[in-house]
C-alpha cells in the first residue's frame, strides 16, 4: 500500500489551468501548494501577498520532468510534504535520513516524509520527529490519505497561528489522526461524519499509543 | 531490508541438539526461547523451575512445519517477539492489528511485532504501543538486529525486576536503541565498544524523537 506506480498521467482540466486567486485569498497567511506542475505552484505562490507559512506537495512525475522548476521553489517552502519514494528520487539518496538532509540543503525549511502505514518522519535542520501511523484493524481506501494528512497538518497550524516545535508536532499528529479516519471509508465518506470530539479522542489515544517514559 | 526468504535451513549442530541446563540456570527468573524448533523451546522451558517471565521468538519455517507444537507453547509465553511477516503467517490475517489480536487469542500474553526500519508494535489485551526505529544515516549490517532487540528488551526487564506498562515500554525502547547500535557495524563489532553512557544518551534522544505533546 506504500508504493505508487504512475502508469499514466491525464491532466485533463489542469492541462491549461492558470489559476487566478480571488483578491481575498491573496492575503491568506497559510498557503498549501498541492501536487501539480511546479510552474503552476510558483504562479499561485506569487499571487500571495506574503504568506506566513508555505506547504508544498509534489510527485515522481514532476521530480523527473520538472526538476529545475521544482528545486527553484524549495527555498520558499516551509514544509515539503512528500512520500519516502519521492524523497529518494528528489535527493538521489537511498537512506531516508540522508535523503531528507539533502532536501534541506536544497532550501526547504523542513521535510515531512510520509511512509503510509508506517507513519511520518519530520526533518528540520535541528530536529527529527518520528510518529507511527495509527494502527487500524481495517483500511478501506487509502486514496487521499496523504492529502488528508497535509490538510489536517496545515489546518491545525492555521487554527493555532504559530509554528513552534510543539505546535508542529501536534499538527503532524492531527494530520496523522485525520488521515486514519479518512481511510476508514471510501472517498470522503468518513470525513463527512467525523466530529471534533472523535478527532480529539483519537489524538489522546495517539499520545498514549506513542508515550515513551523518560 | 524488512523481508527474509528462507532458501534453505541447515540446522547443523542443532539437528540433534538436546540442551540440558546447568542446575544454576534453572532458577533463572527470565527465560528467552530464541528461534529454534518449538519442541526444543518447550524442553528448555520445562527445565526452568518457574520463570517469572518467558520471551519467545520463532520464524516462518516453524510456523509452517511445527505449527501445533508452536501454538501449544503460546499460553506459556509472556512476550512473543516476531516480525510482521511471521505475525501474518501465524495468524492467517493480513492486517497487523488483527494478526496480533488473533495471536493473543491463541494464548500469548503479549506480542511484539518487529517491523525492521519501521520500528516495533506491541500488543497486549488492553494496550498498544508503537515506536519507530531510530533513524540512522548508515546501516552497515542488519543481521542480528532482531536478536539484539530481544536481548536488550529482556535484559532491561531482568535488570529492573518488574514488568509494569512503563517498564515494558522502556524495555522496548532500550531494545530498539540497542539494535540501532548493532546495525552500525558488522557482526557484534559495535556492541563490543558500546558504553552505557552512549546507550542512555540515545535513549534520551529517542524520547525527544518521539515526543507527542498532549
Phi-psi region of A122 (alpha: psi -120 to 50; beta: other; left: phi over 0): beta
As a 3-state breakdown, chain A gives helix, strand, coil percent values, each rounded to 5, of 50, 15, 35
Strands A127-131 and A53-57: unpaired
pLDDT digits (tens, 9 = 90+) for A40-58: 999 999 999 999 999 999 9
DSSP per-residue codes, A64-89: HHSHHHHHHHGGG-SEEEEEHHHHHH
| Torsions phi, psi for A59 (to 5 deg) | -150, 175
Cα A195-A130-B205 angle, rounded to 5 deg: 135
Instruction: List CB contacts (< 8 A) between B209 and chain A.
Output: 128-130
Please give the positions of B annotated as active site: 147
* Chain B nearest-CA residue for A176: B212
Question: For residues A179 and A146, is the Cβ–Cβ distance under 8 A?
Answer: yes
Asked whether residue B4 carries a pLDDT value surpassing 80, the answer given is: no
Question: What pTM did the predictor assign?
Answer: 0.92
Residues of A in contact with B95 (CB under 8 A): 136-139
Predicted local distance difference test score (pLDDT) of residue B142:
86
- Is pLDDT at B2 greater than 60 in this prediction? no
**Number of C-alpha atoms within 13 angstroms, CB side, residue A181?**
26
> Nearest chain B Cα to A202, which residue?
B214
What is the C-alpha separation between B174 and B120, in angstroms, rounded? 12
Chain B partners of A213 at a C-beta cutoff of 8 Å?
A: 166, 169-170
- Closest Cα in chain B to A172: B212
Tens digit of each residue's pLDDT (9 = 90 or more) over B56-90? 999 999 999 999 999 999 999 999 999 999 999 99
CB A150 within 8 A of CB A176: no
**3-class SS at A54?**
strand
Interface of chain B toward chain A, CB-CB under 8 angstroms: 95-98, 101, 115, 118-119, 121, 128-132, 135-139, 166, 169-170, 173, 204, 206-207, 209-214
Q: What is the pLDDT along chain A (214 residues), one digit of tens a residue?
A: 555 677 787 877 777 888 899 999 999 999 999 999 999 999 999 999 999 999 999 999 999 999 999 999 999 999 999 999 999 999 999 999 999 999 999 999 999 999 988 999 999 999 999 999 999 998 888 888 999 999 999 999 999 999 999 999 999 999 999 999 999 999 899 999 999 999 999 999 999 999 999 9
Question: Rg of chain A's alpha carbons, rounded to an integer?
Answer: 17
* Secondary structure (H, E, C), A168-212: HHHHHHHHHHHHHHHCCCCCCHHHHHCCHHHHHHHHHHHHHHCCC
Give the separation between CA A64 and CA A190, rounded to whole angstroms: 34
Among the partner-chain residues A132, A213, A214, the one whose CB lies closest to the CB of B132 is: A132
CA distance A74 to A126: 18
Entry field: residues in chain A:
214
Of B101, B136, B213, the CB nearest to A170: B213
Residues B142-162: tens digit of each pLDDT: 888 999 999 999 999 999 999
Which residue's entry shows cell 528462507?
Answer: B6
> CA A212, CA A209: separation in Å to the nearest integer?
9
Positive/negative CA dihedral, A193, A198, A199, A205: negative
Chain B residues inside the 8 Å CB shell of A118: 115, 118-119, 132
Q: Strands (DSSP E) along chain B, which ranges?
A: 30-33, 53-57, 79-83, 111-114, 120-124, 127-131
Mean pLDDT of chain B: 93
Amino acid at each position: 500500500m506504500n508504493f505508487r506506480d504512475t502508469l499514466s498521467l491525464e491532466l485533463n482540466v489542469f492541462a491549461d489551468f492558470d489559476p487566478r486567486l480571488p483578491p481575498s485569498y491573496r492575503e491568506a497567511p497559510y498557503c498549501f501548494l498541492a501536487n501539480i506542475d511546479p510552474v503552476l505552484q510558483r504562479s499561485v505562490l506569487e499571487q500571495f501577498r506574503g504568506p506566513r507559512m508555505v506547504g508544498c506537495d509534489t510527485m515522481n512525475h514532476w521530480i523527473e520532468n520538472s526538476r529545475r522548476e521544482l528545486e527553484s521553489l524549495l527555498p520558499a517552502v516551509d514544509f515539503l510534504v512528500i512520500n519516502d519514494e519521492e524523497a529518494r528520487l528528489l535527493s538521489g539518496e537511498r537512506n531516508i535520513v540522508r535523503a531528507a538532509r539533502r532536501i534541506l540543503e536544497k532550501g526547504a525549511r523542513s521535510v515531512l516524509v510520509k511512509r503510509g502505514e508506517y507513519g511520518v518522519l519530520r526533518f528540520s535542520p535541528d530536529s527529527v520527529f518520528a510518529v507511527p501511523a495509527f494502527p487500524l484493524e481495517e483500511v478501506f481506501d487509502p486514496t487521499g490519505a496523504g492529502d488528508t494528512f497535509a490538510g489536517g497538518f496545515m489546518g491545525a497550524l492555521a487554527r493555532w497561528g504559530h509554528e513552534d516545535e510543539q505546535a508542529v508536532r501536534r499538527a503532524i499528529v492531527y494530520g496523522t489522526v485525520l488521515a486514519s479516519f479518512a481511510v476508514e471509508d471510501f472517498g470522503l465518506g468518513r470525513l463527512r461524519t467525523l466530529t471534533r470530539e472523535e478527532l480529539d479522542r483519537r489524538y489522546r489515544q495517539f499520545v498514549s499509543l506513542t508515550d515513551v517514559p523518560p
